[in-house]
Structure 1
């Protein structure tokens, strides 16, 4: 390692390096004698409820570690519980989500398609349809840890041509090589979990509608490679009127999720330490999950701290998010924030691992506590602004009424959208209508003389402004999306104003 110092000559640089090394060598970092025990034996004898306290610690740390896996399991649980479906069924919408749906920071303007799948029986084929004149997909296939495997569609691996994406299970040793699979017309990918998910967002063009997106979703196919000569028909389950819920809940069901992950997937080398910790909570591969009352109590206590830690990561400036607009001195010009992922993760495709560590906190509080299905490569024609605080720098108060002015020149070639999300669940607030407003709603909204729109947030609509109002019945945050952000908009000087009381 080179040690560089402020110097005028090579000699002074060398002297600076030597001085620094000597200083480090002589620094009393561990200034204690062999007899300085600190009475650890006597002090440790006073610790009570050791097993329980260890269980609580195990619960906290494994919950933060397992956040992405729990979130992915909940998609499958919702498919089974709310739709009567199972692995490899395709879920689609005739119209976008609304407040009865539980889905981390989903939008309310597009009719998604999604599925939960497994390759435990063997290699799995996911046929993604080619783009049409009216519909194409932006989306990602992920593993059981929500790690992106591949993006699909015009912005993804198939570039809009569609394709047979082949998920090879962990340790697969078949007769064909990756090259031979490719020559046979597949798009093969080696994976490290059995379970996968996909969430595809339809892009509508040339007058395409939600009905076109629903029809397009029913051309997705999922089957096993062993069935490729005669694939069985898929089950297509429509969920727009069903209160489908894929949210994680921070109670004993969270550890049911982690148990499902452990039972349904091979244990990866990077997860062995945490899987060992789960044994203290009654989770062990190949054994039924039958926790005692004490273990349940420890889980709930540990989850409280885990949730508090991830929530703190989410709302603390400089952790999950940073300001977009700052002046030359670094002072904030606006309270709107952008996502600040861990260094190198967007470029690496969001594995949340480096050569030396698993980025547990950044992976949980910095992402999967509040979002799912990150793309392999950022892009896809959407820019996200996150709102937590008003013009005074105070967290939004759901009992107050705020106004947001959306300028007429908002730089979105497709449209803009603003959605209210529950601060507690990171999904839509339940039992409100609407959950958001967008440029697609402006025919029914009141415009200002300059072409801008005032959007109101609060427990009640201002008189006469019901069409421009989004209800807030609990603590919340906002996502403002630019669909099709205009080229060069960041350098244009355009800025979205803060919420004003």
Structure 2
């Protein structure tokens, strides 16, 4: 694609009338276009009685291409992120439907996962229904979900599914084009895409052993085949999407694989305008490539702005009293919808730092599920810096039935901060040092404080941000009556 001047010729026929030609003076000024339109974005645009000059058309074409490419990036982070997860799993041999990676000794910084954590073990695997429905026979309690290729929620698996509720059940994942029979006694998960990502969270390592002994996964009609398991603790891999022009190639890979019926038609229209269409090659060069580089740069900055400094002030959990905010934004919706409106910036921000979509992540259950807060600054609003020492204090008696956790993440990769402290964080399941009043103070610094302390290691010359997780929070937390402190620089 070239944004070159368009050569046109306009032949005007001369007509002679016996009566004089009178211009229509009744046209409202606000429906006309002046001869010169001045803009900050592309400079002056020139017209001749409303007809754009070649230079004007070329300028605006390039501008609109970049604008649409920016929207493709910000509105498609979740798709590129899903593609990066699929590629990352395949890079270590974790093929769809056959291999289930499990963080048996928890995740660590060697694996790049958007805001992964080291407090609970996970199974993170791919399911592909392109060649037919996939059956999952689950006999142990897990907290799980399945998301489609566009990171849309498909269904909950295990404890969060009311038909299972932790008792175990047979699930069948079926593409919506499937016309065959579905066996009775299965929980049906219907999906518009082929590829999927499944995440299971276990309460402890004992559950992992039981899971591996009893879980079955197979294509419908082929019978239960042996599933292979892979311990990914300490395994080097990358599941994070690109932030430069490579982002568009990741998107294209997913679009080429998935059926044309999947996804939002409006978004597919944006993709088509920048050259990404199913069944067609995508190989941007020259001016098109330069425009994509510029668009990716702008879009990445916007995503970082919204993820690290939300423009939606309603995202802040305690209002203007604290700097902790909700990664989901103000909607508290797994679909990012509020009052009939899709909050695009909230969706962009979430997918830039996180993975996994399920209603359970935003539901306000008393004593069930989990809740998440994020901060990128100290109490003065300054960005967190690994050269500094910070403390945060939690009031006594946190309203929860399980435990709380702090995790530190690298600003660049949005993955676990790569320190000598393998856990990357600190939680209340460990040896907790309490203050006299029952409160807990946690220190964040590159070197360990003297004496006993609750410590999270940071890195010199490295920016970081934090996630605070509450596992099984009670109603007092949801009512925001329990207020954790901001980080204070020492």
Normalization by structure 2: what TM-score? 0.80
C-alpha spacing 1:314/1:283, structure 2 compared with 1 (3 Å): same
Gaps of 5+ in 2: 1-26, 37-45
- 1:386 equivalent to 2:386? Answer no
**Structure 1 or 2: more helix by fraction:** 1
2:109 corresponds to which of 78, 93, 99: 99
2:29 corresponds to which of 32, 53, 66: 32
For 2:187 and 2:233, locate their aligned partners in 1 and report how far apart those are by CA, in whole Å.
31
Shift of 1:304: 1.3
Does the 8 Å contact 1:90/1:237 carry over to 2? Answer: yes
1:33-432 equivalent positions in 2, closer than 5 A = 36-39=33-36, 40-41=46-47, 44-47=53-56, 53-81=63-91, 83-88=92-97, 89-131=99-141, 137-157=142-162, 158-176=164-182, 181=183, 184-204=184-204, 210=205, 212-213=207-208, 215-217=210-212, 219-227=214-222, 230-268=223-261, 271-279=264-272, 281-292=274-285, 294-317=287-310, 319=312, 322-326=315-319, 332-339=320-327, 341=329, 343=331, 346=333, 350-352=334-336, 360-365=344-349, 367-377=350-360, 378=363, 379=365, 380-432=368-420
Shift of 1:479: 1.1
Does the 8 Å contact 1:319/1:340 carry over to 2? Answer: no
1:494 counterpart residue number:
482
Shift of 1:103: 1.1
For 1:461 and 1:318, locate their aligned partners in 2 and report how far apart those are by CA, in whole Å.
35
Shift of 1:293: 5.0
SS class of match (1:440): coil
C-alpha spacing 1:122/1:463, structure 2 compared with 1 (3 Å): same
2:19 counterpart residue number:
none
Does the 8 Å contact 1:281/1:291 carry over to 2? Answer: no
Does the 8 Å contact 1:92/1:217 carry over to 2? Answer: no
Q: Residues 253-299 of structure 1: CA distance to partner in whole angstroms, max 9, x if unpaired? A: 32222112111111247633433443455533123443325444332
For 1:400 and 1:460, locate their aligned partners in 2 and report how far apart those are by CA, in whole Å.
10
C-alpha spacing 1:408/1:274, structure 2 compared with 1 (3 Å): closer
C-alpha spacing 1:152/1:46, structure 2 compared with 1 (3 Å): same
Shift of 1:113: 0.3
For 1:492 and 1:320, locate their aligned partners in 2 and report how far apart those are by CA, in whole Å.
16
Aligned length: 441
2:426 counterpart residue number:
437
Normalization by structure 1: what TM-score? 0.79
SS class of match (1:141): strand
For 2:348 and 2:148, locate their aligned partners in 1 and report how far apart those are by CA, in whole Å.
16
SS class of match (2:486): coil
More displaced 10-residue stretch of structure 1: 119-128 or 281-290: 281-290
For 1:468 and 1:370, locate their aligned partners in 2 and report how far apart those are by CA, in whole Å.
23
For 1:363 and 1:406, locate their aligned partners in 2 and report how far apart those are by CA, in whole Å.
29
Gaps of 5+ in 1: 1-29, 132-136, 205-209, 327-331
For 1:340 and 1:78, locate their aligned partners in 2 and report how far apart those are by CA, in whole Å.
25
SS class of match (1:441): coil
Does the 8 Å contact 1:408/1:450 carry over to 2? Answer: yes
Shift of 1:94: 1.5
1:20 counterpart residue number:
none
Does the 8 Å contact 1:76/1:116 carry over to 2? Answer: yes
